[in-house]
C-alpha cells in the first residue's frame, strides 16, 4: 500500500479590491455589493482580509460595519466589525471558511461585502471610508 499526496493540477489566485463609501451608497440602512469577479468553480479560499484604510465618518453615522462573505454566508470571511469604533485596522481571517465545506465550492460563486449603519441613518450618509478586500484561493482542475 502506497501512502502519499495525490497530484491534482491547481492555480493559486490572489485578489485585491479597493472600495470606498461611495461604492456602498444607498438610500437604505444596509447595502450589499459584489467584490471582484465571481470565484470560479472548484475554488477553495485560503485566506481573506478586510483592511479599513480610512475610517468611515460623516453624515452623523454612529456605527458603520462591513461584512465580507457570499450570498449563502454574508459574514463568513469577516463578521462585521464597527469601523467607526475600530478605526483604521486590518481584519484578517486565516483559513477562511464560508458555508460550503471547508470553503470549497463545486459551483462558481460571487463574494460580497455588506455595509450597515446605525438605524437612524443610511449608507449614503457617510462622507468618508475606504476598505481593501484581499483574498487568496486555489482553483482545482480535474
Q: Is the pLDDT of residue 4 over 70?
A: no
Compute CA distances 110 → 72, 117, 130, whole Å.
Answer: 10, 23, 21
For residue 76, what are the β-bridge partners? none
pLDDT at 39: 92
Nearest CA-CA partner of 131 in 24, 14, 31? 24
pLDDT at 102: 53
Residues 17-140, CATH architecture = Sandwich (2.60)
Where do the structural domains in the chain lie, given as residue ranges?
Answer: 17-140
Q: Which residue has the higher pLDDT, 115 or 107?
A: 115
Amino acid at each position: 500500500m502506497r501512502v502519499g499526496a495525490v497530484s491534482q493540477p491547481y492555480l493559486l489566485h490572489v485578489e485585491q479590491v479597493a472600495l470606498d463609501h461611495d461604492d456602498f451608497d444607498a438610500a437604505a440602512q444596509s447595502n450589499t455589493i459584489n467584490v471582484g469577479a465571481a470565484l470560479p468553480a472548484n475554488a477553495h479560499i485560503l485566506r481573506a482580509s478586510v483592511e479599513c484604510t480610512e475610517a468611515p465618518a460623516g453624515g452623523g453615522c454612529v456605527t458603520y460595519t462591513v461584512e465580507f462573505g457570499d450570498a449563502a454566508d454574508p459574514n463568513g470571511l469577516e463578521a462585521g466589525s464597527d469601523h467607526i469604533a475600530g478605526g483604521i485596522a486590518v481584519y484578517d481571517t486565516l483559513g477562511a471558511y464560508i458555508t460550503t465545506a471547508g470553503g470549497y465550492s463545486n459551483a462558481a460563486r460571487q463574494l460580497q461585502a455588506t455595509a450597515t449603519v446605525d438605524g437612524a441613518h443610511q449608507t449614503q450618509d457617510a462622507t468618508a471610508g475606504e476598505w481593501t478586500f484581499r483574498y487568496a484561493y486555489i482553483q482545482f482542475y480535474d
